[in-house]
A and B are shown apart, each in its own frame.
Chain A
Amino acid sequence: MIDGVARLGAWVLRTIERLGFASRFFVAILRFSGASFSRFRLTIREIYFEGVMSLVIVGVSGLFVGMVLGLQGYDTLVRYGAADSVGVLVALSLVRELGPVVAALLFASRAGSAITAEIGLMKATEQLVAMEMMAVEPIARVVAPRFWAGVISMPLLSIIFSTVGIFGGYLIGVVMIGVDSGAFWSQMQASVDFRDDVLDGIVKSFVFGVAVIWIAVLEGYDSPPTAEGVSGATTRTVVTSALAILALDFVLTALMFRGT
């Protein structure tokens, strides 16, 4: 019993220590970010590996999510004679919530875990130390470009997700089920506000992007330089990112959509 409490205490202390390290690491990334922009080619390369390579999964998932929203939404709305509003349902759900959140979750699982594994393996095979010995700061050369690439890619992916989803909702609602196309779009236009809904969604995806990529590079950089260490770090990235995304989503939604 006492042992359990002691372990809990130790865990809390370790977590606080880790949080401190994570914060200092974040500041270090910002400090060494100069090269990410002056040598933008480095960042572009990472945008390719993180963003472009995630396009397929984001696009396909967006399409299916939009189609399901259309299907489920129609099923419920038609009972109240409000089938014309299925466009509103699909668009608002995607733009405000599902776009940022689901795209961020997918990004964390695909790109986040890949980055953790990559950096972790570079650490395990002494590539980072080798770089250090060549007087090249690893954080500036390896970590920062990946960080900024993630921050840039995340909102882009989220917007694409929402758009493809809306198109999926259109496919189901108008093309398949037969809701009036004019009503579909005009209702949507009347209800989706660019500043309140779309921009807020983009702000959300930006925040998620920062969180996910920060966790990913941190876990990779801090991972034990062994096979088990890297695999554990990769798993932690996905799990911690998912929790962070959902928690931040709650906080941001409460702040933004208070409905006052």
Chain B
Amino acid sequence: MNRNRAVDFWVGLFVLAAIAALIFIALRAANASSLSSAAVYSVKGHFNNIGALKVRAPVRAAGVLLGRVTEISFDPQTFEAVVTFTINAKYPFPKDTSAQILTSGLLGEQYIGLTPGGDTADLKDGDTLEITQGAVILENLIGQFLYSKAAEGGMDKSGGSPGGGSSAPGPGAGPAGGAAGGAASAGGPAGGASPAAPASGGGGAAAIPSPPGMAAPAGSAKGEGKR
């Protein structure tokens, strides 16, 4: 019987060691954020291009993780992407919050950045965001840059109204620091196609310093058909 006790002891120690290892990993090596069952509310947003956004991508505001993307689907009526994501219920956002698809770091994963608006009413579970901005598409960026260079070299048009379908550079508030080349328009008429693009070329490609006048219409940057 003594031999059995020794065996039991060592087996118990073995199991204990494994449990301790698991706890160590859980606490020190990994984050258990996916396990926390905090209350969340679900919100939708329509984007003309989600770029490389994936399900379970983070949702951040001011850089802080507040939720996750839960579903990505396609609207056959408007031909836009529909992204459903959750926000931690501890943090209510105003109804006119805008969502933007940004990239973390130079080559990092894409995430949704929320910028609060000024509405007094809050978003409720199931609401749809009205203001969104899609991801930066590298090809559009390059096209815009090339045309802006061509425009500067050739014609002598200065500035020009922010017409056409191309949008102004992104909300000044934001995450300009994030993306390479900041916030040129995704979707819309591809920068390369439209000869009107060079007109806003002044504000084009690397347009980090957005003219103050742009700040206001930033919200309607996406133009028609968006609401």
Q: Is the CB of B29 within 8 A of A91?
A: yes
**Does A195 interact with chain B (Cβ within 8 Å)?**
yes
In the complex, per-residue mask of B1-39: 1 if CB is within 8 Å of any chain A CB, else 0:
000100110110111011001101110111111110000
Known: A41-B4, A190-B31. A156 touches B15 (CB 8 A): yes
Q: Is the CB of B18 within 8 A of A156?
A: yes
Size range of the chain B interface in the assembly: 20 to 34
Which A1-57 residues sit within 8 Å CB-CB of chain B? 41, 44-45, 47-48, 51-52, 55
Q: Is the CB of B30 within 8 A of A47?
A: no
**Does A193 interact with chain B (Cβ within 8 Å)?**
yes
Neighbouring A residues of B17 by C-beta, 8 Å: 55, 156, 160
Question: Other CB < 8 Å A-B pairs besides A55-B17, A160-B17, 4 of them?
Answer: A47-B11, A91-B29, A156-B15, A195-B34
Neighbouring A residues of B15 by C-beta, 8 Å: 156
**Does B55 interact with chain A (Cβ within 8 Å)?**
yes
Q: Which residues of B contact A (CB under 8 A)?
A: 4, 7-8, 10-11, 13-15, 17-18, 21-22, 24-26, 28-35, 54-55
**Does A197 interact with chain B (Cβ within 8 Å)?**
yes
Neighbouring B residues of A160 by C-beta, 8 Å: 17-18, 21
Which A50-67 residues sit within 8 Å CB-CB of chain B? 51-52, 55
- A194 CA to B22 CA in the complex, in Å? 10
Which A121-149 residues sit within 8 Å CB-CB of chain B? none
Q: Is the CB of B14 within 8 A of A52?
A: yes
Set A153, A156, A157, A192: member contacting B30, Cβ < 8 A: A192
In the complex, per-residue mask of A142-166: 1 if CB is within 8 Å of any chain B CB, else 0:
0000000000010111011011101
